[in-house]
Structure 1
Amino acid sequence: MSNSDEAQTVEESTPREYDPNAEHAFPDHRLNDVLDALLSDAEVTAYLRAQNVNAVERKGYNDHGAKHISIVRNRALRLYDLLKRGNVEFNGATQQGLDEADEPVIIALAATLHDIGHVVHRDDHAYYSIPLAADVLDRFLAQFYDIDNQVRVKAEVLHAILCHHTEEDPLTREAGVIRVADALDMERGRSRMPYEKGGRGINTLSSQAIRNVELKPGEDEDAPVLVDIEMVNAAGVYQVDSLLKAKLRNSLIEDYVRIVAINTKADDQLVERIEL
């Protein structure tokens, strides 16, 4: 097999973008309809542009706009698919009397709207996201659900949005997926942790140390998800331990996710491999 063929095989086995035409381990027809409307929604698009102003331009943090949202949504759906392939049961939609097809809808909506509170303030933004997302959902969900189910889907989306914040523990696995997916946007300096001024502190150095993050099927049937992290500096351990591990804790999916981080830089073997 040539190098290009091998690279293509790896990419196909670890997809980064949700493909509505691919085969999934969950009913995807409702998700595909919702996503099609969501990605072209003018108000949602405007929020994604506006929410970076406080975070990036005024506070000096890294991206929390459209690119971050796309990464989180795609990784959330990939994580959800791997968990479903591992026969992990989700409780949010079920306990609301909704269908299995509503689980990925809740996840996609929460991933898309979880950071819009940044338009108010970066600090405590998860709490500001709730009323703003509620207004968007009141309008948007009317295209797809009757009043009763609008309220139930809205409730689950808002719960997942709130619980992406580490101060609030998820009560559903849908919310846990959002919480963890938010932390998985950590490649090449894209960590959710803020940079220090001057760029020389541990948050900055460690975030730059993460080269690649991939979600793969786990080899252990009890842990159907493998998070494979490539580091190029031992400082990346700080990101894995202080950010990803913290988000995974109390997520309701921690028992099903295995994290392996490998330091691939030959002249820096202070930490070669860590496993959570």
Structure 2
Amino acid sequence: MSDTESDTGNGRVYSPKGEHAFPDEKLNAVLEFVENDPEIQTYLEAQNVNAVDRKGYNDHGVKHIKIVRHRALCLYDLLKRAGVEFNGAKQQGLDEEDEAVIVALAATLHDIGHVVHRDNHSYYSIPLASDELDRILPEFYTKPECVRVKGEVLHAILCHHTEEIPLTKEAGVVRVADALDMESGRSRMPYERGGRGINTISSQAIESVSLSSGEDHPVLVEIEMNSAAGVYQVDNLLKAKLQDSMLEHEIRIVAIQSTSNGDELVERIEL
């Protein structure tokens, strides 16, 4: 995903060079390590084989991971700007700078279990991500810190699906960000390739997703649609992920239908 001024301004891309509402030095070092690690990058490519080639689902590989990680960090930044306090790193006795590291690593490794099987992949992700974290974290943390950061990352990975309820806001960020990859047929909901079912039609209706500071909520998510069918996607995907994320009261969603006469507000979903 290109780091353009437009994408950065729309809460779509995290820029390491930008100004953030949190300490970012350690995060940026971790991101550089991850981006240049051949083992992790191979996992991200390989995890698409079961999801796409064998099961016929939409992308869960390199592009999906980049989108989710970018939006997770943008979402985290907006929440921090609004003064939202996070509990995961804090309750482990870790530093504020470790919150973003937890979010970024969980977003990077949350779908790694797809190399085993698409079904129940969040559970398969745990041992695989654990091995990767054992390689990554000693580069940046002491042994006791590694144990605590690792536990928080694995918790966020496990809770990115709706089967498990997040106990930290860091995990909630990853869970919501996973659902924000829904543009132009990229929905996390299965759809029929070439089909005309509601999942297919609704997923194709989403044109763009942007994040910004809200007036009455810390974060405003604006979803532009070319058809009102996109509301089904928002309601059945994003609503489910936002529920029990610990961020229900921090995020407001507005769906907008694009028409030839301009933008027409279709539905305001207050969650």
Q: Structure 2 length normalisation: TM-score? A: 0.94
Deviation at 1:225, TM superposition (A): 0.1
Aligned 8 A contact 2:8 2:14 in 1? no
Q: Distance in 2 between matches of 1:19 and 1:31?
A: 11
Deviation at 1:273, TM superposition (A): 2.7
Deviation at 1:264, TM superposition (A): 1.4
Alignment of 1:116-127 (within 5 A): 116-127=112-123
Deviation at 1:219, TM superposition (A): 1.2
Q: Distance in 2 between matches of 1:271 and 1:83?
A: 25
1:12–1:180 distance in 2 versus 1, CA, 3 Å:
closer
Q: Distance in 2 between matches of 1:62 and 1:163?
A: 20
Counterpart in the other structure of 1:27: 23
1:37 partner amino acid: F
Deviation at 1:17, TM superposition (A): 1.8
Aligned 8 A contact 2:7 2:13 in 1? no
Q: Distance in 2 between matches of 1:214 and 1:147?
A: 38
1:270–1:199 distance in 2 versus 1, CA, 3 Å:
farther
Deviation at 1:9, TM superposition (A): 7.7
Aligned 8 A contact 1:194 1:203 in 2? yes
> What SS is found at the alignment partner of 1:227?
strand
Deviation at 1:121, TM superposition (A): 0.4
1:249 partner amino acid: Q
Deviation at 1:271, TM superposition (A): 7.7
Q: Distance in 1 between matches of 2:47 and 2:256?
A: 34
1:190 partner amino acid: R
Alignment partner of 1:193 out of 189, 194, 203:
189
Aligned 8 A contact 2:72 2:107 in 1? yes
Counterpart in the other structure of 1:232: 226
Counterpart in the other structure of 1:5: none
> What SS is found at the alignment partner of 2:213?
strand
Q: Distance in 2 between matches of 1:101 and 1:215?
A: 22
Aligned 8 A contact 1:51 1:116 in 2? yes
Alignment partner of 1:158 out of 140, 154, 158:
154
Deviation at 1:234, TM superposition (A): 1.1
Deviation at 1:10, TM superposition (A): 5.6
Q: Distance in 2 between matches of 1:66 and 1:206?
A: 24
Alignment of 1:171-250 (within 5 A): 171-196=167-192, 198-220=194-216, 223-250=217-244
Alignment partner of 2:103 out of 107, 111, 114:
107
| Unmatched 5+ stretches in structure 2 | none
Cα deviations across residues 119-162 of structure 1 (Å, max 9, x unaligned)? 00000100000000000001111111111000000000000000
Equivalenced residue count is 266
Cα deviations across residues 60-91 of structure 1 (Å, max 9, x unaligned)? 00000000000000000000000000100000
Deviation at 1:272, TM superposition (A): 2.2
Aligned 8 A contact 2:112 2:128 in 1? yes
Counterpart in the other structure of 1:44: 40
Cα deviations across residues 9-37 of structure 1 (Å, max 9, x unaligned)? 86553242211111100000110111110
Q: Distance in 1 between matches of 2:267 and 2:221?
A: 13
Q: Distance in 2 between matches of 1:24 and 1:198?
A: 42
**Identity of paired residues, percent?**
68
Aligned 8 A contact 1:264 1:272 in 2? no
1:226–1:166 distance in 2 versus 1, CA, 3 Å:
same
Q: Distance in 2 between matches of 1:12 and 1:125?
A: 31
Deviation at 1:254, TM superposition (A): 1.0
Q: Structure 1 length normalisation: TM-score? A: 0.93
Deviation at 1:53, TM superposition (A): 0.2
Q: Distance in 2 between matches of 1:234 and 1:116?
A: 34
1:24–1:259 distance in 2 versus 1, CA, 3 Å:
same
